[in-house]
Amino acid sequence: MSGPEAARPEVEWSLLCDYCLIDIAGKLTLVGIFDRLLVPTLPVHAPLLVVVTRWRAPSTDRFIAETRIWTPTEQLLVTTGPVEVAVPPAGPAMTVNQFRAVTFERAGQYLIELLAERETARYYPCEVVVHSAPS
């Protein structure tokens, strides 16, 4: 971000999903949006977890973003690390973070934390619930 007077980017929205595609025309397709995982047993392995975030930021600017997932015991599970995001002149900035082979060891509330310029911009929960099928 340029200059101390520049506003930090804000999260317009963010979602967890199984898969995301942005086509050549810029249309966004999200598959399997969720806010909780119902699992039969633990630990459970998610082959792919996608966090899609739309950012409000000044056009033609750049900023540093990071996506983190925290366990119910406040341990860092996975992170993208700091990533430079370019804001296109014709549209909003989007980040699509793919986390592969994520293991959830316990039930409870996991937190998705979104950072802009190394400060928390938003966080939201994803619940992991053990739910056995009725017999």
Question: Where are the chain's structural domains?
Answer: 10-130
The pTM assigned to this predicted structure is 0.90
| CATH numeric code, 10-130 | 2.60.40.1930
Q: Phi first, then psi: what are they for 71, rounded to 5°?
A: -80, 170
Q: Cβ(56)–Cβ(26) under 8 Å?
A: no
pLDDT tens-digit readout, 95-109: 999 999 999 999 999
pLDDT tens-digit readout, 69-96: 999 999 999 999 999 999 988 778 999 9
